[in-house]
Structure 1
């Protein structure tokens, strides 16, 4: 039997632990409120794990999967939930990655014998150049080599934590905080938001869109000073892309290449630097290739592009793409 002295020591220790937990909880709550007042929002942070959850969803026929791959123009310009509302017989899957051209993922899906859905590939002529093919390869490799059911559960739990507290943001973690303590500066406040289906949105009212437009224009100008790849070299590489498309088609899948609307010098990159008739149009005419350019969708010409590269109203761009002739015809097959 425990002595009264031992019992009271245990009760005292329990109170110490309870007090410590309460104090720690209050400290975390105060810190959370501090960063919220600073402007830091709670919300999901994109990652290879969140992407991999969606990568697992590309299979199935009922409903048919519609997989979006590309960079920021589709990542933030297409709303998967609205797409499902417009086309309820489909299962939209968002695999686009901000800042990364998608050819590595096209190659991966071609090699995946179980995939036979509709693939909508957001890419322009520049993004099809061989030197950019591997930009998404690290995501492909993560899913192939490191993704497990345990990591899936971990990410689902992390979603709950990130929705609950701003302290789940890695920018507020101990390593980032220690680095700021030595180097100065403040944590980055996100100007985008994303949901669990990886449908993203740019919050144009929270940053200087004009400055962003200038940065995109300067980037386009810089690219236009690079050596122009010979047409024959481009088309030889396009032939490899064509072979991956045909592999998907032989399994009953479809691929649509889509150039979203752009403006300013970003548009000049395609219209002046690349001779569209010699590059994009020739690729679009290759056997088995189905391509849609925003210029061929009149409604898209009215979209607001505050930074010359991404649409303000993703609901409008989603509606226009879902109703486009090329996308609709591929779904009907």
Structure 2
């Protein structure tokens, strides 16, 4: 006979006190479940649709991409190499090839599409901790832009954003680095939700406005802020036509601004470079290729003798102009303004040899 009894041996029907009802599914929970399912289906369907059309995910051109590189530079050694300028050097300067040639750490890419490099140069000049080498891409219409040209001087807010870079901004950029390379629907081209809605609504252009030219999906961005042309774009004539149309629209807007004060620009540039040199750094200017309509426009509006030559004379910097070197002048631009991936690698290799083995 057992010496004790236990409630575990109870086999009868449970009492009312032992009954426990499971919580009922509320309306909010049910709604959340439906919304989650519909969202998942919509994202999956959109991703499948874009994948069938050949679109590839890429990072967006967000100011956090620039600010992240700028703050990584601040944490590095004072003698780092920095690349500034506009999209030509952003497309045409191959960071990996330069690193292979130099056996040093990878340069920091601080170039920005359609941006004037002067604010970035000034930011580096005012940084007492920077004593490295600046490789500055020279696009004449952007370097010698008017102080009223807010489109070209959008590089100034980039430096200001980097200075207030905090945990929230860093977390936001890390989230973009995580999601954007994996989701096509986050593309900021003609397939973005905003652009699709804009095309459906067929909104007219307001009078006396200068809307930013809309570019098709023809390039992709890497985590180190480098941009490259899609290889398929080299043979896609309609896409290239859309891009060249956008270049013509963008350059026509410069006529709305007052002429730039060339003397003042040269003097401010000279002062900034002097500060960098005083700390042991240096600056070199690189003129990347342009072709066809774009090249002729630049020859007409920004003659070498009046702009490029004066820049080098005023600053005393070394300058590499692609037209002066056969190994750099042989490259064409698929859409008049940027080098392809393969040509960028060869151009960078040739550029390194010219700078280090003259």
TM-score (norm 2): 0.76
Correspondence 1:108 to 2:127: no
Name the counterpart of 1:52: 67
Q: Runs of 5+ in structure 1 lacking a partner?
A: none
- Per-residue displacement from partner, 1:267-288 (whole Å, max 9, x unpaired)? 3344444342243213212353
Question: Within 5 A, what are the aligned runs for 1:238-253?
Answer: 238-253=266-281
CA distance in 1, matches of 2:127, 2:276: 9
Q: CA deviation at 1:195?
A: 0.8
Equivalent position SS for 1:7: coil
Q: CA deviation at 1:177?
A: 5.4
1:198 paired residue among 217, 225, 229: 225
- Per-residue displacement from partner, 1:246-305 (whole Å, max 9, x unpaired)? 101111111111111222243334444434224321321235322221122221111121
Correspondence 1:296 to 2:327: no
CA distance in 2, matches of 1:32, 1:106: 40
RMSD across aligned positions (CA) = 3.7
CA distance in 2, matches of 1:179, 1:305: 31
Name the counterpart of 1:321: 351
- Per-residue displacement from partner, 1:204-227 (whole Å, max 9, x unpaired)? 334543564466468768979999
CA distance in 2, matches of 1:264, 1:169: 30
Name the counterpart of 2:211: none
Name the counterpart of 1:209: 240
1:165 paired residue among 183, 201, 215: 183
CA distance in 2, matches of 1:217, 1:174: 26
- Per-residue displacement from partner, 1:181-223 (whole Å, max 9, x unpaired)? 5338xx9752110110111111233454356446646876897
Q: Which has the larger radius of gyration?
A: 2
CA distance in 2, matches of 1:48, 1:307: 25
Equivalent position SS for 1:252: coil
Name the counterpart of 2:286: 258
Name the counterpart of 2:201: 182
